[in-house]
């Protein structure tokens, strides 16, 4: 078992979740139940799955939760690109978020590979 609060991937994904909430606060009100909700739910899913997975007794179980977290990160990437296409965010905002996202994906994937 790992202490999720000690994991850098958990801390980074939690901070990234805050970034998503901040950026989506400027999205149109008509998107409250659309892409805003989708982005927020997916971003909350990442640190939540890391935390839940860390409580599992086997490395295999924890690995599966990390896989789910990575899936959510790719979901977020797609939704951010769509948000830019819809002109809800600017290119420079998108690039900053995507750079942070890529770092979290790489770190999570690397950590997952150590569990085998």
d(Cα 105, Cα 76) in Å, to the nearest integer?
A: 11
d(Cα 50, Cα 63) in Å, to the nearest integer?
A: 9
Question: At the topology level of CATH, where does 4-114 sit?
Answer: de novo design (two linked rop proteins) (1.20.1440)
Torsion angle of the four alpha carbons 33, 79, 104, 46, in this order, in degrees rounded to the nearest 10? 30
For the chain, domain boundaries: 4-114
pLDDT tens digit sequence for 51-95: 999 998 899 999 999 999 999 999 999 999 999 999 999 999 999
Q: What is the structure's pLDDT at 87?
A: 97
Q: What is the structure's pLDDT at 1?
A: 60
How much is the mean pLDDT over the chain? 95
pLDDT tens digit sequence for 30-56: 999 999 999 999 999 999 999 999 998
d(Cα 54, Cα 7) in Å, to the nearest integer?
A: 10
């Amino acid at each position: 078992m790992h202490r999720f609060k000690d994991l850098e991937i958990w801390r980074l994904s939690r901070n990234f979740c805050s970034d998503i909430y901040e950026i989506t606060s400027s999205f149109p009100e008509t998107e409250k139940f659309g892409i805003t909700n989708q982005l927020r739910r997916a971003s909350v899913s990442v640190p939540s799955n890391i935390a839940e997975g860390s409580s599992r007794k086997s490395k295999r179980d924890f690995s599966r939760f990390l896989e789910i977290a990575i899936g959510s990160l790719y979901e977020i990437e797609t939704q951010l690109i769509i948000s830019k296409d819809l002109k809800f965010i600017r290119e420079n905002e998108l690039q900053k978020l995507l750079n942070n996202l890529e770092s979290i994906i790489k770190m999570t994937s690397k950590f997952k590979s150590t569990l085998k």
